[in-house]
Amino acid sequence: MRFYDHIINESAPGALQTVPAVTNVPSAEYPRVYADGRVTFRVHLPQAHAVQLEGGQGLCEKPVPLTKDSEGNWSVTMAPRVMGFHYYWFNVDGVRMNDPGSETFFGYNQETSGIEIPDAQQISSDLVTFPVVPFYAPHEGPHGQLEEKWYFSKITGHWRRCFVYTPPGYDDAAHARDRYPVLYLQHGAGENETGWGRQGGVSFIMDNAILGNSSSFFAFMRGGVPKAKPMIVVMDNGYATYANPSSEHRDPSDQYAFPGTEAFGAVMVQELIPMIDSSYRTLADRDHRAMAGLSMGGMQTMAIALTHLDLFSHIGTFSGAQFMRWRPRPGIPERPPFDPHTSYGGVFADAAGFNSKVHLLWMGAGTAELAMSESTRENVAKLRSAGIKVKEYHSPGTAHEWQTWRLCLNKFAPLLFQA
Amino acid sequence: MRFYDHIINESAPGALQTVPAVTNVPSAEYPRVYADGRVTFRVHLPQAHAVQLEGGQGLCEKPVPLTKDSEGNWSVTMAPRVMGFHYYWFNVDGVRMNDPGSETFFGYNQETSGIEIPDAQQISSDLVTFPVVPFYAPHEGPHGQLEEKWYFSKITGHWRRCFVYTPPGYDDAAHARDRYPVLYLQHGAGENETGWGRQGGVSFIMDNAILGNSSSFFAFMRGGVPKAKPMIVVMDNGYATYANPSSEHRDPSDQYAFPGTEAFGAVMVQELIPMIDSSYRTLADRDHRAMAGLSMGGMQTMAIALTHLDLFSHIGTFSGAQFMRWRPRPGIPERPPFDPHTSYGGVFADAAGFNSKVHLLWMGAGTAELAMSESTRENVAKLRSAGIKVKEYHSPGTAHEWQTWRLCLNKFAPLLFQA
C-alpha cells in the first residue's frame, strides 16, 4: 500500500478527478477513487452471469450489483458511507473472488481484497494549504520501526509471530539507555497479527501521535495535538490453543475466551510478555504496560487485563466492550449481562481500589455500529454508576471497521502512561 | 505462514499421512501435503464447468485439470517436481482465481496463492533423529529481526518501503558498538519488497547461515556448515520511475533497466544506501557492501553494481545473469550477446583490475530452468576465458522458483565479506 502521495501530488483542489486507489497492485487502473469520495470498482469477467460487490460495514452493508459492458467488464460507482480502509470482494455467480487489482489483507479468516478510500476533504479541500496527510499516513520527519518477531511457544507447541513497533529514536545512540512503556494491541476475529501493521496503519498513527504531527487546520489553530509518550507497541496473533488441553499453563482469562483463542492469555502472560521484556528496552512493570484491542481483541483485553491487574494498568477496548455482555463461550452457560459488582470475578466491586490501580479504562466505538455503540454506552454508564472511572469515545458515523479503530488508537494513545 | 512445526510434531516416521500445508489460512483443510511429498488441492465451486490448477515452474509447467465430486468439490492430487514454495491459482471457467484456503504472496504483479511443500525426506525420514528443520525455517536459538522501513524518495516522488534484516545480536548491548556489512538483495519481475521476507524465508536462511545451524545429518558428520558473517540485508522494491523524466538524478545503470525500473539505480545509490548507512550501524564502504538479486533482480544487480564498483565489492545473481545477453530495454537497440571485453562499459576488460576490486562474483541457477542455467554456464565460461574470477552454482532439479533462490542465498551468504 502506498500512502496518498500520488493523490496529493496529482490532485488539483476541487477537481473531479479519479486515480487508482493506493491499495491497488502496480499498474491496476481499478478500483479508482474520485476527489469527491466516490469509488469505481471494475473487473473483467466476460463469462460471468452476475457479479456483486460485497464487503464490510461502511462500504456496503448489502451486496451491490455490478453491470456488464460489451467488453465483459463489470463495474459500479458508489459513494461509500465511510472513508478509510474497507475489506471487499466480488461475488461471481455465487463464488467469492478477490479483486485481482487490489492488495489482499487478512480478514474474515482469509486473504481479502482491501481498498483505502481517502477522505474527500483531504483530497479536495481548497481551504487548507497544509499538506493534507491523514494521521494514519506517513509524515515527513522521524519514524519508528515495525518489525516481525518469531518465538517458539511451548504452550501452543508452535512457532508464533508478533509485530513490534518501536518509537522514533529507539535505535539512536542518544536513547540507548532509555526504557519504554509497552502497549499490547490486538486485532479482531478473523484477522491476525498483520492487521494493525497493514490495514491499521499503526506505525504512522503512533509516529504522528508521538511527534504531535497533524495536518488538521483546526489542530494547528489550537496549537497542535496532544502528544503520546514514546512507547513500544506489540501486536500478536490472538488465536492460540493449548498443545496439551490439561495444561498446567492454563490462565484464568481462558474462561472468557472464544474457541480457538483459549490459550492466548496464557501465551501472553507466560511467554509473550517475558519475551518482549527480555528482547526490548521496556519498563517492565504494570504502571508501564497497557493492553487494548478491537472487537474480539477488546474482549480479550478485558479478559486478560482484568484477570492480571498485577501486569496491566491501562486498558482500552475499541468496539469491543460489548463482548462483556453477550457471546459467551460455547459449553459455558450464557453469562448474565455485564454487572460491575460481579463480572470478571468482581474486579470492579471495590471502585476506589480499582480506580487507584487502573490509571486508564477507555472504551470506544463507532456511532454507526449500533449494537457496539449502544453496549459501550450502557457498560460505561453501569461502570460510572458503580464509581469506576472510565473514558468513552464515539467516532461519528463510522461502523465496525478499521477507520473506527484507527480513530480509537489515535484518541487512546495520547492518554497512556501520562500519570 | 507457520513453519513446519505441526508437520514435525505430528508426523510418524514413514507414515503416509497428510496435513494442511503451512501456507494455509487458519482452519483451511486444503491444500493438504503428504509425507511422501504429494499434495492435494481442493476447492468448492459447485457452479463451475471446468477448473484447472495453474502455477509456477516446479509445480505445474502446464495447467492440471481438477475433477468434480457430487458435492461440488474440485480436486487433484499430484507430486510436484520440486519441494519448497510455489505460486499457484485456479483457472475457473477461464477466470483466474486464488485459492481461498491459502495465504497470498506478491507475484505475477498481483496477490497470488502460494503453497509450501515440505521436502519428503524432511518429514518422512526415519534414518535421522535430528529435528528435521530446513535451512529456511526457524531453529531454536537466537534470531535476527526483519523490519519495514519507509522513506520518502524525491527521485520518484513517492514514499517507498524496504525491509531490513538485522542479524542475531544486533540489538544486544554487547554489540552496541559493532558495525556490520550490508547485502542489498532484490526480488524478481512481478514481485515486490515483501518477496524475500515472506516466500524467500530470508530471516531464517540468514539466521541459520550466520549461526551455522543445520539439520543435515551429513553436515553434522562433516563438522557443521560454513558460517556467514553477521550482516544486514536490505530488500527494496525494484520498481521505480523518475518523477521528472529529465531528472538530474539519472543513474548510469538505467540504460540496462526494464520499463518501470529505470530509476531504481538512482534511488538505490542516491537515496537508499545513504538512508541505510545513516539509520543502521553499517560498515559504510565498498568492501562491506554486496548486491544480489533473483531473475530481474539479478539483472539489476549487474547493472547497478557494475556501474558502481566504487560502492560494491561482492556481486551475486540468482537465475539472473542471463539477462546480460537478452531482453534489451524497448526503445534501445537490441544489445549484442554478452561480451566480457565490451559489455557494461568494458568493466571486465581489465581482468586483473576487476579481480582485485571485486572480491566475489557469483552466479547461480537451477538446472531445471534450462535457458537460465545455460546462459549462466555460457556467461561464466566467457568470463573465465577473459580471466575474470567467478563462482557458479547449479541447484539440482530446481527451476525458476523460490527454492532455487533460497538455495542460492544459502550458498552465497557464507562467501560474503570473508576477505
0.85 surpassed by complex ipTM: yes
What contacts A311, CB < 8 A, 6 or more positions away? A269, A273, A286, A289, A305
- Please give the residue range of the domain that contains residue B105: 5-124
Of A93, A98, A171, the CB nearest to B111: A98
Indicate whether A151 and A120 sit together in one domain.
Answer: no
The β-bridge relationship of strands B51-55 and B84-92 is antiparallel
Domain count, chain B: 2
Q: Give yes or no for residue A11 having a pLDDT over 80.
A: no
pLDDT in the model for residue A4: 46
Last residue of a domain, one of A64, A91, A124: A124
d(CA A263, CA A331): 16
CB contact under 8 Å between A157 and B5, yes or no, is yes
Binned at pLDDT 50, 70 and 90, residue A209 comes out as very high
The β-bridge relationship of strands A232-235 and A158-166 is antiparallel
Q: Quote the strand ranges of A196-342, DSSP E.
A: 232-235, 289-294, 314-318
CB contact under 8 Å between B138 and A148, yes or no, is no
Last residue of a domain, one of B67, B92, B124: B124
Q: At what angle do helices B202-211 and B402-412 cross, to 10 degrees?
A: 30
Q: Give yes or no for residue A7 having a pLDDT over 80.
A: no
* Residue A130 placed within a domain: no
Helix, coil or strand: residue A86: strand
Residue A26 class from Cβ within 10 Å (0-12 exposed, 13-18 middle, 19+ buried)?
Answer: middle
Do A293 and A301 contact (CB within 8 A), yes or no? yes
CA distance B267 to chain A (A): 17
Indicate whether A196 and A319 sit together in one domain.
Answer: yes
Q: Facing residues of A77 across strands?
A: A40
Element (H, E) at B206: helix B202-211
pLDDT in the model for residue B213: 85
pLDDT in the model for residue B183: 98
Residue A316 phi, psi (nearest 5):
-135, 140
What contacts B331, CB < 8 A, 6 or more positions away? none
Do A20 and A32 contact (CB within 8 A), yes or no? yes
Q: Give yes or no for residue B389 having a pLDDT over 50.
A: yes
Helix, coil or strand: residue A308: coil
DSSP states of A261-300: -TTHHHHIIIIIHHHHHHHS-B--SGGGEEEEEETHHHHH
Last residue of a domain, one of A66, A93, A124: A124
pLDDT in the model for residue A410: 96
Helix count and strand count (H, E) for chain B:
11, 19
Residue of A nearest to B173 (CA): A176
- What sign has the CA pseudo-torsion B394, B395, B398, B403? negative
Residue A260 class from Cβ within 10 Å (0-12 exposed, 13-18 middle, 19+ buried)?
Answer: middle
Note which residues in 135-154 of chain B have CB less than 8 A from chain A.
Answer: 138, 140, 143, 145-150, 152
Mean pLDDT of A141-150: 95
Q: Quote the strand ranges of A93-142, DSSP E.
A: 95-97, 104-107, 110-117
Q: Which cell numbers in the block locate residue B146?
A: 526483519
* Residue A411 placed within a domain: yes
Please give, one letter per residue, the 3-state secondary structure of A43-66: EECCCCCCEEEEECCCCCCCCEEC
Mean pLDDT of A10-17: 49
Q: Give yes or no for residue A299 having a pLDDT over 80.
A: yes
Residue B395 phi, psi (nearest 5):
-75, 120
Q: Minimum mean pLDDT among A90-94, A143-147, A331-335, B36-40: which range?
A: A331-335
The β-bridge relationship of strands A182-186 and A232-235 is parallel
The β-bridge relationship of strands B232-235 and B182-186 is parallel
pTM across the whole model: 0.91
- What does the DSSP 8-state code read for residue B271? I
Q: Minimum mean pLDDT among A367-381, A385-399, A402-416: which range?
A: A367-381
Indicate whether B394 and B347 sit together in one domain.
Answer: yes
pLDDT tens digits along B271-315: 999 999 999 999 999 999 999 999 999 999 999 999 999 999 999
Note which residues in 89-108 of chain A have CB less than 8 A from chain B.
Answer: 92-98, 100-104, 106
pLDDT tens digits along A332-368: 666 678 889 998 999 999 999 999 999 999 999 999 9
Cell 528496552 sits on residue: A281
- Among the listed residues A31, A220, A225, the one whose alpha carbon sits nearest the alpha carbon of residue A118: A31
Cell 496491566 sits on residue: A312
CB contact under 8 Å between A138 and B145, yes or no, is no
Q: Which cell numbers in the block locate residue B50?
A: 471446468
d(CA B48, CA B220): 51
Which residue would you say has higher pLDDT here, B102 or B171? B102
Do A104 and A113 contact (CB within 8 A), yes or no? yes
Do A75 and A41 contact (CB within 8 A), yes or no? yes
Helix, coil or strand: residue B133: coil
Cell 463482548 sits on residue: A323
Q: Give yes or no for residue A300 having a pLDDT over 50.
A: yes
Residue B356 class from Cβ within 10 Å (0-12 exposed, 13-18 middle, 19+ buried)?
Answer: exposed
d(CA A184, CA A293): 8
Of A3, A9, A94, the CB nearest to B157: A9
Percentage of chain A modeled with pLDDT above 70: 87
CA distance B240 to chain A (A): 11
Residue A243 class from Cβ within 10 Å (0-12 exposed, 13-18 middle, 19+ buried)?
Answer: middle
DSSP states of B60-80: -SS-EE-EE-TTSEEEEEE--
Helix, coil or strand: residue B177: coil
Cell 556489512 sits on residue: B181
CB contact under 8 Å between A145 and B150, yes or no, is no
CB contact under 8 Å between B158 and A2, yes or no, is yes
For residue A147, list chain B residues with Cβ-Cβ distance below 8 A: 145-148
Mean pLDDT of B7-27: 68
Indicate whether B60 and B157 sit together in one domain.
Answer: no
Q: Give the number of other CB atoms < 10 A from CB of residue B386.
A: 16
| Average pLDDT across chain B, whole number | 88
Indicate whether B94 and B157 sit together in one domain.
Answer: no
Indicate whether A102 and A149 sit together in one domain.
Answer: no
d(CA A102, CA A28): 8
* Residue A386 placed within a domain: yes
- Among the listed residues B146, B119, B109, B96, the one whose alpha carbon sits nearest the alpha carbon of residue B36: B119
User: To the nearest 10°, the Cα dihedral for A364, A367, A372, A373?
Assistant: 70
pLDDT in the model for residue A365: 96
Indicate whether B78 and B203 sit together in one domain.
Answer: no
pLDDT tens digits along B97-148: 999 999 999 999 999 999 999 876 554 444 444 446 789 999 888 999 999 9
Q: How far is CA A200 from the centre of its chain?
A: 5
pLDDT in the model for residue B128: 43
d(CA A272, CA A269): 6
Mean pLDDT of A57-84: 93
| B137 backbone φψ class: left, alpha, beta (φ>0; ψ -120 to 50) | beta
* Residue A140 placed within a domain: no
| Average pLDDT across chain A, whole number | 88
Q: CATH no. for residue A292? A: 3.40.50.1820
Helix, coil or strand: residue A152: strand
Q: Minimum mean pLDDT among A60-69, A293-302, B35-44, B155-164: which range?
A: B35-44
Rounded (5°) CA angle B295-B405-B399: 75
What does each C-alpha distance from A255 to A310, A377, B282 come to in angstroms? 19, 25, 49
CB contact under 8 Å between B93 and A47, yes or no, is yes
Note which residues in 216-275 of chain B have CB less than 8 A from chain A.
Answer: 239, 260
For residue A235, list chain B residues with Cβ-Cβ distance below 8 A: none
Residue A40 class from Cβ within 10 Å (0-12 exposed, 13-18 middle, 19+ buried)?
Answer: middle
Q: Give yes or no for residue A21 having a pLDDT over 50.
A: yes
Indicate whether A157 and A68 sit together in one domain.
Answer: no
CA distance A392 to chain B (A): 33
Count the helix, strand and coil residues of chain A and give each as a percent rounded to the nearest 5. Answer: 25, 25, 50
What contacts B335, CB < 8 A, 6 or more positions away? B328, B343
d(CA B373, CA B393): 9
Binned at pLDDT 50, 70 and 90, residue A55 comes out as very high
CB contact under 8 Å between B100 and A92, yes or no, is no
Q: A with B: how many residue pairs have Cβ under 8 Å apart?
A: 118
- Among the listed residues B73, B79, B70, the one whose alpha carbon sits nearest the alpha carbon of residue B40: B79
* Residue A235 placed within a domain: yes
Indicate whether A48 and A179 sit together in one domain.
Answer: no
* Residue A78 placed within a domain: yes
Which residue would you say has higher pLDDT here, B132 or A103? A103
pLDDT in the model for residue A331: 62
* Residue A9 placed within a domain: yes
Question: Is the N-terminal amide bond of A31 cis, ω within 30° of 0?
Answer: yes
Binned at pLDDT 50, 70 and 90, residue A323 comes out as low
Cell 505475477 sits on residue: B108
pLDDT in the model for residue A248: 85
Q: Quote the strand ranges of B327-396, DSSP E.
A: 360-366, 391-395
d(CA A104, CA A114): 6
CB contact under 8 Å between B98 and A93, yes or no, is no
Which residue would you say has higher pLDDT here, B79 or B222? B79
Indicate whether B227 and B375 sit together in one domain.
Answer: yes
Of A45, A143, A150, the CB nearest to B150: A143
Note which residues in 371-410 of chain B have CB less than 8 A from chain A.
Answer: none
Element (H, E) at A158: strand A158-166
Q: CATH no. for residue B53? A: 2.60.40.10
pLDDT in the model for residue A287: 98
Indicate whether B152 and B258 sit together in one domain.
Answer: yes
Q: Which cell numbers in the block locate residue B245?
A: 523524466
For residue B98, list chain A residues with Cβ-Cβ distance below 8 A: 97-98, 104, 111
CB contact under 8 Å between B147 and A152, yes or no, is no
CB contact under 8 Å between B100 and A96, yes or no, is yes
A168 Cβ under 8 Å from any chain B Cβ = no
d(CA B256, CA B247): 17
Percentage of chain B modeled with pLDDT above 90: 71
Mean pLDDT of B371-397: 94
Indicate whether A320 and A206 sit together in one domain.
Answer: yes
Q: Which range in A14-18, A214-218, B51-55 is most confidently predicted, on average pLDDT?
A: B51-55
For residue B203, list chain A residues with Cβ-Cβ distance below 8 A: 148, 150
Q: Minimum mean pLDDT among A88-102, A112-126, B161-175: which range?
A: A112-126
Count the helix, strand and coil residues of chain B and give each as a percent rounded to the nearest 5. Answer: 25, 25, 50
Helix, coil or strand: residue A303: helix
Note which residues in 280-339 of chain B have CB less than 8 A from chain A.
Answer: 280
Residue of A nearest to B193 (CA): A1
* Residue A325 placed within a domain: yes
Q: Facing residues of A370 across strands?
A: none
d(CA A381, CA A392): 10
pLDDT tens digits along A234-292: 999 999 999 987 778 899 998 888 889 999 999 999 999 999 999 999 999 999 999 99
Rounded to a whole number of angstroms, the CA Rg of chain B reads: 22
Q: Which cell numbers in the block locate residue B222?
A: 562433516
Of B5, B25, B106, the CB nearest to A159: B5
CA distance A287 to chain B (A): 25
Binned at pLDDT 50, 70 and 90, residue B332 comes out as low
Binned at pLDDT 50, 70 and 90, residue B255 comes out as confident
For residue A234, list chain B residues with Cβ-Cβ distance below 8 A: none
